[in-house]
Amino acid sequence: MTAPTTPAPSLFGASIKRREDPRFITGKGRFTDDVVMPGMTHAAFVRSPHAFAIIRSIDTSRASALPGVRAVFTGEQLAAAGVNGLPAGWLLPDIKVPYRPVLSVGHARHVGEAVAVVIADSAAVARDAAELVDVDYEPLVAVADTATALSHPTQIHDIAPDNRCFHWSIGDAAPVDAAFASAPHVVRQRFVNNRLAAMAMEPRASLASYDVAGDELTLYVTSQNPHVHRLIMGAFVLGLAEHRFRVIAPDVGGGFGSKIFIYPEEVVVAWAAKKIGRPVKWTATRSESFLTDAQGRDHVSEAEMALSNDGKVLALRVKTIANVGSGLSLFAPAVPTYLYATLLSGAYAIPAIHCEVDAVFTNTTPVDAYRGAGRPEACYLIERMMDLSAKHLGMSPVDIRRLNFIPAHAFPYQTPVALCYDSGNYEPALDMALTKADYASLLQRQAEGRANGRYIGIGFSTYIEACSIAPSQVVGALGSQAGLYESAHVRVHPTGSVTVYTGSHSHGQGHETTFAQIVADQLGIPMDAVDIVHGDTGKVQFGMGTYGSRSGALGGTSIYMSLQKIKDKAKKIAAHLLEAAEADIEFEGGKFYVRGAPDRAKQFADVTLAAYLGHNLPSGLEPGLEATSFFDPSNFTFPFGTHIAVVEIERSTGHVTLLNYIAVDDVGNVINPMIVDGMVHGGIAQGVAQALWESVHFAPDGQPLNASLMEYAVPRADQLIKYNTGRTVTPSPVNPLGVKGAGETGTIASTPAIANAVMDALSPFGVSHIDMPLTPSKLWTAMNGSTGGL
């Protein structure tokens, strides 16, 4: 045998076609609703039509009498059976955590809240019967508006006066006050960050079955984190031992945060399957998704920026009211606090920052993490403030950013709002984006357009974000009720193929490809010899799942760490087989060989077989070849970049056309560029949509006004354009792969880029700010001399 003369091209960094795609392009994906079990029954939920009401009584007799109905349950029955409420997974000082039963008890607090459940032999009969459940409601005056919830006469929860869930602050107020007292310039703006629906295309679903013989409950559920589901549902809500409760998240059709959380329906389905002794399935209609999937954003903020004469930001002061909806969804408290206010320094060296947050209850759908989760709200605020400040000072939006950037030599950089940015180099990304946009000629085109009644706008977002929130010890001290590490078990089989069990969960991210690239790259074996297993607590050790752009940096690194353990052990065996010192063994291209004597070699598969035969191992070494790692990093990772949006507003209609979109992102090392670009594209589309089209609206009485795809403006192909992407690479120092996370950059960066572009286009009209979404009617009104009420 000879050692390879030319090294195989590295799989790490290659745009490999996805291995999961053949099943999806042939219709063989296996989503929760695709799973069928013998004897399966179907659940349908009775939902409150009122935003706030007392439930006087529930009469289930007509529903129970319908042929095909197996059972009808109410909240009181579940409570009597010992089913607990849904817990909050992040606690803050003095936070009010109202009891959140899975089916309403006493009151219903938002439209769509589940009040009772019907279980029947078919989904159609279950729905028919749900219509026959008679609930006697006494409607109450509801609170829906974020800005006025604190002063509304209605109190939604007894334990929460003024509808305040918590008051929280970060940063040191004294230096901020001092800076404002002496600053030559202060720029102020109020911002409404509009509420959004996550709108994963696969509606939530769950299917549970109980095996009496093994006393084991199995739950298929649309989850981004099946172990979190198992832990919380098992330990806190249903009182089930984890070794007898298996949670499977099979193919999941997008999540964007909305499938992190534990929802009432899956708890009811799991409990009912055991109770009635038959499998129970529930799949949300899109209407139910709009009413009950946790929604995102919904902030009202007052921001003030103090500036020097030459454009240096001296201080930032922010007061935010964040709407958490009718009760606390799992990670709701973390989103408008540690995932938001800690990012308010953006990419800038701001000496003093103070932010206060009031979280408020309203009679609306609960709000929690949605793609970006807090970081888009922070990025929007700071990037809009940079533009407003530039305008105030007569500076270019590029110059003010460059002037205030944290310089490349200043990393690690401690912000005044807790985070320490591990690395960064912001100017090259800005420069690359300016080149891609051909900024000089764009400015010329804009000037010429204006002379001819064409309104082109150029918008910047030189964003930063924070991924893979960590380490566990720190998040625990800040209130998280969970650790935020990730795990991997790598099992090498006797003939050299590999199964990886990862605690990450892929619902579109392509882990079956990218993680296999890491393994094949490290072990020098073909990707076909590697399988990635995820999404099943019956197979995977433990894991925290996928959200917050954490899976590359945490899931990928824990695989990498296990592979180092595997290689270390394999090297010992190879040295023994080759009768050489371990220190003299090289491992390259799937082959162990003696340094300087490449013919003295053993293939990876020779060594793995030896490991399992156990006939000839170094003394004291155990047979077998597998390794488990839990990776808990020392810090977050901090992707950054520059996005530039170019838009044109039609003077006669206010319609916005996207002319160009440039995204230069630095997500560290990239495992699969094709996949990263894809995530950037999708993220941009969602962020653009917040700026221009999407917004969840409630009437003052809490009735949702656009809870269907007929009214909620999810973008279609003909509203969007091709995105012009680029990359700089500043590897993260906090993990050995040097990766950061790419799932959310697009969403975080693009919203302010678009808003800044639209405001730039409107500048000839003397308009400095309009709240999102920037719909034609608002823009037309602004161009016609009034922002009246908008």
Partner 1 sequence: MAQITVTVNGTTEHHDVEPRTLLVHFLRERLSLTGTHVGCDTSQCGACTVLLDGASVKSCTVLAVQADGASITTIEGIAKDGQYHPLQTAFWEQHGLQCGFCTPGMIMSSIDLLRRNPSPSEAEIRAGLEGNICRCTGYHNIVNAVAAAAEQMRAAATPAHVN
Under the rule (CB under 8 A), what is the footprint of partner 1? 17-18, 20-31, 33-34, 36, 124, 199-203, 251-254, 256, 283, 285-287, 507-510, 674-675, 677-679, 681-686, 708-710, 714, 716-718, 720, 722-723, 746
Q: Look at the alpha carbons of 448, 450, 456, 461 in this order and tell me if their dihedral is positive or negative.
A: positive
Question: Does the protein bind ligand FES through residue 508 (CB under 6 A)?
Answer: yes
Query: 511-523 vs 557-578: helix axis angle to the nearest 10?
Result: 30
Q: CB of 321: closest distance to ligand FES in angstroms?
A: 33
Strand 530-533, strand 498-502: pairing: parallel
Q: Judged by CB under 6 A, how many residues of this single chain contact ligand FES?
A: 4
Choose among partner 1, ligand FES, none what residue 215 binds, the Cβ cut-off being 5 to 8 Å by kind. none
Q: CB of 201: closest distance to ligand FES in angstroms?
A: 4
Contacts with ligand FES, 240-279, as mask; x by CB under 6 A: -------------xx-------------------------
Choose among ligand FES, partner 1, none what residue 723 binds, the Cβ cut-off being 5 to 8 Å by kind. partner 1
Question: What are 565's two structure tokens?
Answer: 């353990």
Q: CB of 255: closest distance to ligand FES in angstroms?
A: 10
Cβ distance to partner 1 smaller for residue 294 or 386? 294
Contacts with ligand FES, 558-597, as mask; x by CB under 6 A: ----------------------------------------
Cα gap 632→584, rounded to integer Å: 32
Choose among ligand FES, partner 1, none what residue 697 binds, the Cβ cut-off being 5 to 8 Å by kind. none
Residue 578 CB coordination number (10 Å):
19
Phi/psi at 152 (nearest 5 deg)?
-75, 140
Cα gap 1→317, rounded to integer Å: 68
Nearest to 250 by CA among 517, 534, 546: 534
Contact 6, 492 (CB under 8 A): no
Cα gap 104→57, rounded to integer Å: 11
Cα gap 651→763, rounded to integer Å: 13
Residue 151 has what DSSP assignment?
G
Strand 591-594, strand 597-603: pairing: antiparallel
Judged on CB neighbours under 10 Å (0-12, 13-18, 19+), 626 is middle
Give the chain's length. 790
Sheet holding 724-727, edge to edge: 455-464, 640-649, 656-666, 724-727
Q: Can you say how many angstroms the Cα of residue 61 is from the centroid of all Cα atoms in its chain?
A: 42
Q: CB of 718: closest distance to partner 1 in angstroms?
A: 4
Cβ distance to partner 1 smaller for residue 451 or 710? 710
Footprint on residues 17-76 left by ligand FES (CB under 6 A):
none
Choose among partner 1, ligand FES, none what residue 650 binds, the Cβ cut-off being 5 to 8 Å by kind. none
Number of residue whose CB is nearest ligand FES: 201
Q: CB of 586: closest distance to partner 1 in angstroms?
A: 36
Footprint on residues 102-121 left by ligand FES (CB under 6 A):
none
Cα gap 552→546, rounded to integer Å: 10
Cβ distance to ligand FES smaller for residue 20 or 584? 20
Q: Which amino acid is at 745?
A: T
Q: CB of 109: closest distance to ligand FES in angstroms?
A: 29
Cβ distance to ligand FES smaller for residue 44 or 103? 44
Q: CB of 253: closest distance to ligand FES in angstroms?
A: 6
Q: CB of 18: closest distance to ligand FES in angstroms?
A: 11
Cβ distance to ligand FES smaller for residue 287 or 724? 287
**Residue listed under structure tokens 């488990």:** 628
Q: CB of 457: closest distance to partner 1 in angstroms?
A: 21
Q: CB of 675: closest distance to partner 1 in angstroms?
A: 7
Cβ distance to partner 1 smaller for residue 354 or 507? 507
Cβ distance to partner 1 smaller for residue 471 or 752? 752
Question: What are 3's two structure tokens?
Answer: 């050692």
Choose among ligand FES, partner 1, none what residue 710 binds, the Cβ cut-off being 5 to 8 Å by kind. partner 1
Nearest to 547 by CA among 265, 782, 200, 232: 200
Q: CB of 748: closest distance to ligand FES in angstroms?
A: 19
Choose among ligand FES, partner 1, none what residue 579 binds, the Cβ cut-off being 5 to 8 Å by kind. none
Q: CB of 508: closest distance to ligand FES in angstroms?
A: 5
Choose among ligand FES, partner 1, none what residue 604 binds, the Cβ cut-off being 5 to 8 Å by kind. none
Contact 387, 377 (CB under 8 A): no
User: Which secondary structure element, helix H or strand E, spans residue 116, and what is its range?
Assistant: strand 114-120
SS3 292: helix
Choose among partner 1, ligand FES, none what residue 25 binds, the Cβ cut-off being 5 to 8 Å by kind. partner 1
Cβ distance to ligand FES smaller for residue 225 or 686? 686
Q: What is the largest CA-CA distance in the chain?
A: 87
Q: CB of 192: closest distance to partner 1 in angstroms?
A: 24
Cβ distance to ligand FES smaller for residue 235 or 709? 709
Cα gap 625→497, rounded to integer Å: 11
Question: What are 102's two structure tokens?
Answer: 């899975």
457 contacts: CB under 8 Å, gap ≥ 6: 446, 645, 646, 647, 648, 649, 756, 757, 758, 759, 760, 761, 762, 763
Cβ distance to ligand FES smaller for residue 296 or 508? 508
> Interface with ligand FES by CB under 6 A: which residues?
201, 253-254, 508
